[in-house]
Structure 1
C-alpha cells in the first residue's frame, strides 16, 4: 500500500510525536520585543543567564542609529514568566556616532554585572576598533560604568567580538582580527581595581599564531581555565586551553581536529568545565554526516589533571534527508554551553518535516557506565512551523536554576523584510510526561 520511503516517514513522525511529550526540558516563556521589533533586529544574537536574570541582545536595533544595537535585561517573576527590567544602549558622551557598532555582539552576565561587546565601535564609521561596555546593577537599575578598549587595538581589530567574565574581578575579551599579526587574533585580560574599574593586565596570542587564525573568535572559562577558539587556523581551525596561574594566562595545550578539512570552522564555539572541554566545528562536512552538518569535539583532563586528551566526537544525522532530499546542513556546534554536567549544543540549520533552517538544540549528559556523552534531550522551538528561525543560534545555561536560554534570531513576526527574532526559555523538569500542549513540538523535530 505504501512504499518503504513513506512507511519510514510515518514511523519517524510517530516517534517524534511520542518523544515530544517526554522531554526533560520544557519551554516556560518566549520573549519578543515589546514593540514587536523591526525586521532584522536580530533579537537573540547573544544571550546569557545568571540566576533569575538574563541578557539578550539585538544588534540590529536602531535606537542609536542603523545597526547600533541594544541589550535587553529580563528578570524572572512568578509562574516562571520573565519581564523586561531595562533596555541598555551605549552612551559614549560626546561621541555620538553609533552606526553599525554592533553593540551586543557578545554579552557576559553575572548577577549584578554585565559586559557587552561592541566590536565595530570606532571614532568614525568603519573604524571597527571595538569596545566593551561595563554595566552594574544597583537597586534594580543598570548603570553604565565604563567603556573598555584594548591598549593595542587598531583599525578593524573587532575588539569585543567575544567577552567572558572569569569572576567579578576578571574579564577576558576576544579581538579575533587583531591586525598586528595579519588577523591572527588575540585576547585581552582585565582586572578590576579597588574602585571596580577594569584595567588591562595582558594581551595574549596563541603559541602558533599566524595570519587569519581569528584567535579570540570564541571564549569560555571555568574558574581556573580559559578556552579560546581560532576557527581560521590553517583553514580548519583550532582551540587553545589556558590555565590561570597567579592571575596570568598560561597556555596548556592547543587542540585541532585530527581529520579536519579546510572550512570546517573548528573553534567557532567553545565550552569548558572542570574536567571537560568542547569545541564546535559547525561546518564539518564529514562524508558520513552530510555537507555542513557540523560536529562537536570533546576533550577531557587526564588523571594527572595537567593535560587534555581527545575523548569523543559528537555528530548527528538527519533521517529526514531521506525524505526531503535536502542536505544535512544542521550547523551542529554553532553554539555551545556547559554547566552542572550538561552540555548544550545548538544546531540552527536543522531542517524539519516542513521547514528548512528551523533549528534545534541537543542536550548531552555523560553516562556513568560508558563514560560517553549521550543525548539527554532534544529541544525545539515548540510553536509555529519555524521556517528559517535559526533556533539555537546562541545558547546559555545555568544549572543552579535549571534554566536554558536560546536565541532564534530569525524568529517572531515575519514580513517580506525579515523577522525581529525571539528568545525562548526552557527549564529542566523531572523526566516524564510534560503538559500535553507540548505535543505540538512534534512538527519541529
Structure 2
C-alpha cells in the first residue's frame, strides 16, 4: 500500500512514516485512563443511578432503582450502554414487567455469559419488602425476561436480592435480613437451571450465624464454590462447595483481627484461586479507614495473603465498601474518602507482581463534588473498570458511572461529529513519556503491514484502503505519556478509522471509528 500525504486535519501536516525513530524500548506500564462518563437520560432528585454496576463484553450495565416510570413512580431500571469505538452509547433500558413503585429494581445486578440477573430487594410479590430476582437471557439481539425468583420461605422485610452472583447456570441470592436464626441473621439461596426452569437448589445457612450477623450481605460464585459474607458483629466469610449433589460448608473465614463492627465480609469477590474481602469499617492507616484482605486457594483451603490499605486512607473513608478482582488486578472502592471534596470518593487499583499485591494507582472522577460517593460500586473485566458514583444532587456530574481503562498499549480517543465533519479533538494516553507518536487514517477497516524502509516495519495495523493517510508522525507525548491535538474533520473522512503508533515501542492503539 502506498502512503499518501493528504491533509485531513487543519492543525497538522501529513508526512511519511520514514520520519519515525527506531523502536527500541519496551512497552509502557500505563496509568488508568478515563474514557467515558455514563449518565441517565433524565434529571430527577434522589436518583440512584450508579448504585450497582456490571460489565459484559462490550456492554456496561448500570442499575438505578429510583428510575421513574411514565407515572413518575420510582420502579427502577437497568441502563445498558454499548461500546461503539471509543464511545459508550445508551442502547436500552431494562424494566421489570410487573414493576411497582419502591420495588428497588436495579439495586443489585450480576451477569455471566448470556444471563443477567437483577435484584428488586423491596418487591412486595408475596410479602411486603420480601424481595425478588428477575432473570434475563440474551437472545442474540435483546435481553428477554425469563423468570422471576422468590425465596420459598420469604417473609416481610427479608430484602431477598440485596446481593447477587451468577456463574453459568447457578444463581446465588443474598437475603441479609432473613430472620431464620434470629433478627437479621441472614441467609443465601442457590438457584439452578435444570434445562427447562430455575429451581431452588439450596438455602445456605449455618448454626453459628446469629442475630444481626447479616449473612448474605455479599455473595460470590465461581465453578463449584460460593462465598457468602456475613458483615455483622465480628464478621466472617463462609465458603460452600458443591459435591455434585449438595452444597456443604467447607470453611469459615473469620475477620483477621476479630474486631466487632468492622464489617468484614461487606464485599467479596473471587477469580480463579484468588479472592478479596472488604472490611470498610476496619482500622487501616487511620481508625475506621477501611481495609481489604486477599486470599489464595491452596487446593484445600483459603489462606490469607495480603492486607490491603489505601496509601492515603482516612477515617471513615469506607475503603473496602466495594471490591472486584480479575487476574492479577484488584480494585477497591472507598466512596467516602476525602478527595479534595467531602466524601467525593476514590478507587484504588492493586496489582500482583507474582509475589505480593501492591497499590499501583489511585483514580478519582475528573470532576469532584461533595458526597459524590465515587467508588460506591465497582466492576472489572480485563482492562476495563466501571465505577458507580451515586449522589442525590443534580449537577453536571451527579448520579453517574465512570469507565476507565488500564492497558499496556496506547489508548486513542477521538471527539468528533459525524456525519458532517467539523471540529475534532484527538487524545491519546499510555504511550512512551516524552516520546513520539504517529497518527494514521484509513478509509476502511482492514489489515495493513507497515512496509520495509520505515521504522516499526512489520507492525500490523487494522486499517485498509483505498485511502491510508499518515496524518502526522511529528506528534509528541507529554511526560506522562499523554497527548492531544485539535483539528478539523472533513465530511469525507467520516466512516473511516484512526489508529496511533507509539514510535518508541511500536505498540499500536485501539482502532477508533469516525462515525
> TM-score higher than 0.5 here?
yes
Distance 1:58 1:253, change over 3 A: same
Whichever of the two has the greater Rg, that structure is: 2
1:265: Cα distance to partner? 0.7
Aligned residue number for residue 335 of structure 2:
348
1:413: Cα distance to partner? 3.9
Aligned residue number for residue 128 of structure 1:
129
Which of 285, 293, 299 is the matching residue for 1:297?
293
1:214: Cα distance to partner? 0.9
1:207: Cα distance to partner? 4.7
1:428: Cα distance to partner? 1.8
Aligned residue number for residue 137 of structure 1:
138
Q: Which has the higher strand share?
A: 2
Aligned residue number for residue 112 of structure 1:
114
Distance 1:254 1:143, change over 3 A: same
Q: Which has the higher helix share?
A: 1
Distance 1:23 1:410, change over 3 A: farther
Structure 2 residue runs of 5 or longer lacking an equivalent are: 1-27, 409-429, 432-479, 485-515
Secondary structure in 1 aligned to 2:386? strand
Which of 71, 89, 100 is the matching residue for 2:95?
89
How big is each residue's C-alpha offset from its partner over 1:98-144, in whole Å with a ceiling of 9 and x where there is no partner? Answer: 122111111011343210011110148x8111100011222422221
Give the aligned CA root-mean-square deviation in angstroms: 2.3
Q: Do the aligned partners of 1:391 and 1:411 also contact (CA within 8 Å) in 2?
A: no
Distance in 1 between residues matched to 2:392 and 2:31, nearest whole Å:
23
How big is each residue's C-alpha offset from its partner over 1:192-211, in whole Å with a ceiling of 9 and x where there is no partner? Answer: 1323x211111110352111
Distance in 2 between residues matched to 1:84 and 1:412, nearest whole Å:
22
Match status 1:372 vs 2:374: no
How big is each residue's C-alpha offset from its partner over 1:33-53, in whole Å with a ceiling of 9 and x where there is no partner? Answer: 123x31211111111101112
Match status 1:309 vs 2:303: yes
Secondary structure in 2 aligned to 1:143? strand
Distance 1:413 1:209, change over 3 A: same
Match status 1:176 vs 2:176: yes
1:385: Cα distance to partner? 2.9
Aligned residue number for residue 165 of structure 2:
164
Of residues 236-245 and 60-69 in structure 1, the stretch that sits farther from structure 2 once superposed is 60-69
Distance in 2 between residues matched to 1:412 and 1:139, nearest whole Å:
37
Secondary structure in 2 aligned to 1:298? strand
Structure 1 residue runs of 5 or longer lacking an equivalent are: 1-20, 320-326, 438-445
1:395: Cα distance to partner? 0.4
Distance in 1 between residues matched to 2:29 and 2:45, nearest whole Å:
35
1:65: Cα distance to partner? 5.7
Distance in 1 between residues matched to 2:151 and 2:72, nearest whole Å:
24
Secondary structure in 1 aligned to 2:216? coil
Aligned residue number for residue 482 of structure 2:
435
Distance in 1 between residues matched to 2:322 and 2:118, nearest whole Å:
18
1:259: Cα distance to partner? 2.1
1:172: Cα distance to partner? 0.9
Distance 1:146 1:261, change over 3 A: same
How big is each residue's C-alpha offset from its partner over 1:8-55, in whole Å with a ceiling of 9 and x where there is no partner? Answer: xxxxxxxxxxxxx985321111111123x3121111111110111221
**Residues 179-194 of structure 1 correspond to what in structure 2 (within 5 A)?**
179-182=179-182, 183-194=184-195
Of residues 115-124 and 261-270 in structure 1, the stretch that sits farther from structure 2 once superposed is 115-124
Q: Do the aligned partners of 2:112 and 2:167 also contact (CA within 8 Å) in 1?
A: no
Taking structure 2 as the reference length, the TM-score comes to: 0.71
1:146: Cα distance to partner? 1.1
Taking structure 1 as the reference length, the TM-score comes to: 0.81
Aligned residue number for residue 32 of structure 1:
39
Q: Do the aligned partners of 1:135 and 1:142 also contact (CA within 8 Å) in 2?
A: yes
Q: Do the aligned partners of 1:237 and 1:265 also contact (CA within 8 Å) in 2?
A: yes
Aligned residue number for residue 258 of structure 1:
256
Distance in 1 between residues matched to 2:345 and 2:189, nearest whole Å:
33
Aligned residue number for residue 422 of structure 1:
400
